[in-house]
Structure formats: C-alpha cells, structure tokens
Amino acid sequence: MFELSLLICGLAVILCLWRVALGPTAYDRILAVNAVGSLVIIGITLHGFFMGRPEFIDIAILYALINFIGTIAILKLFSENKNKKN
Amino acid sequence: MAEFLINGFLIFLLAIIAVVAIRSIKIFSTVMLAGAYSLICAIIFVSLDAVDVAFTEAAVGAGLSTVLYIAAMRHLPKREKVVNDNTIFAFIVCFGVGCLLIWASFDLPVIGDPMAPIHQHVGPYYISNTKPDMGIPNLVTGVLASYRGYDTLGETVVIFTAGLGVLLLLGDGKNRDKNE
C-alpha cells in the first residue's frame, strides 16, 4: 500500500518537474513548484510510515509552512511589478 | 532494497533538475527549479536519518534562499545572456574532478558504520554523558548548546556582525528615492 502510494507520488513529482521546466507562463511554474512542495510533504509522511518511523511527521508540517512563505514572496513580487506598470 | 530504490530515484530526480536548471535560459525558471532541488534534497536527508539537516535545508534552502533569489531577481533582466564560448576544457576539468571524487568515495566507511573513525573520536563520550550532564535526550542539541556552547556563541556573533554590516552598507531602502 505504502509502496504504491510512494510510486504514485514519485510519478507525480516527475510530471510537476516537467511543468516547471517547460511551463509556458510563470504562473504554471509557481503552481508546479507548489505542487512539488505538497508532494514532498506527502512523500516524507509516507516515507516515515514505510520505514516504520512515523515520528518525522513534524518535518512535514514545517515543510507545509515553508512552502507557503516562498509562494507568498513570489506572488508579492508579481503584484509589485504589476503596480509599477500601472 | 526499497531504501536503495527510493534513494536512487531521488538522486536521479536531483540530476534531472540540475541539468534542466543549468540549461534553462529564463532566470525565473532556474530559481523555481532551485527551490524544487532543495525540497528533493531535504527528502534525501530525511531518508538518511539526518532530520536536523533536513530541517535546515527546508528552512534555508527551500524557504529563505528562494525569497532572497526572488528579491535579487527584481534587479536583473528576465533572460540569461547566452555565451557560446568553447567549454570543452571546463568540461574535462569537471569530469576529471568528478571521477576523482567518485574514486575517493570508495575509501569512505559504510553509512551508519559504528566503527567508522568519525564515530570513535568524541562521539562515545557525548553519547554516554549527555543525559547525565544536561538531562536532555537530544545529543545534537546537547553538543551545540552546551559542549560547544562558546563555539555556537562565536558563530552567532559572526553571523550577527555580518548581517549588521550588510544592513549598514545597503541601508533599509528609505533614502533610495533621494539619490535617484
């Protein structure tokens, strides 16, 4: 069960990286990196259960917080650029 | 076997991200890929049981570095300047150093080997004395905050001084409009 979930997570990460590399607009890239972050959170949790050490879930929580800050910073940059043009 | 497969897959992902980040011309795309690289790196650290390193990588690598890159990107053009120099010599040097490093890695002890020299120096002392000395179970915290407390204090002072110097040089941005 955990093996299958990890496998699906891995495939999803590859698809997201594809979108980061090729994504025509910047917003595609932001969304894709955000999705990679979410998949990493799921992956760490699954890895913990898979290896029989589910104590590491708190790292997954930290990742969730950090992921949020990075995205906010990027979007703030975009909104500032937009204001400059107007 | 499963652990080997997971680590191999993660390192394969890292290699792909690194190549794509180097090849991409758009700076924004490179910054985004660097963030993804840090995230994957942090899973590898978790997988190697280095949880505190993974914490640092997630906080500094994926969080803070991305924000700093984005702040620096505001002052840069959107695309890299493409340089078509002859890079064969650089490739040979990199390839040679890589081969040397791989060759040197055969002499490293096995991961987690308790008889490795690094685990025989002061490690056993910390393992047996941290709990009686400090009364806390976390060895890393015990070493950083108490056995090497002055060292950590010095590092903190150095980083604080560096930050203060950068702030004094760059200013807080309030006087920018007068000069422009």
pLDDT tens readout for residues B107-158 = 888 877 777 877 788 888 888 888 888 888 888 888 888 888 899 999 999 9
CA–CA min distance A20, chain B (Å) = 7
The CA-CA-CA angle for residues B44, B50, B51, to 5°, reads 95
Is A21 near chain B, with CB under 8 Å? Answer: yes
Q: What residue segments make up the domains of chain A, in order of their start?
A: 2-85
Q: Compute the distance between CA of residue B159 and CA of residue B168 in angstroms, rounded to an integer.
A: 14
ipTM reported for the complex, 2 dp: 0.79
- B8-27 pLDDT, tens digit each: 888 888 998 898 888 888 88
- Residue for token pair 């937009």: A82
C-alpha–C-alpha distance, residues B28 and A30, integer Å: 10
Is the CB of B53 inside 8 Å of chain A's CB atoms? Answer: no
Cβ A63–B39 below 8 Å, yes or no?
yes
Domain ranges of chain B: 1-78, 110-171
List Cβ neighbours of B106 (8 Å cut-off, separation of 6 or more).
none
Contact between A70 and B36 (Cβ < 8 Å): no
Check residues B103 and B4 and name the one with the higher pLDDT: B103
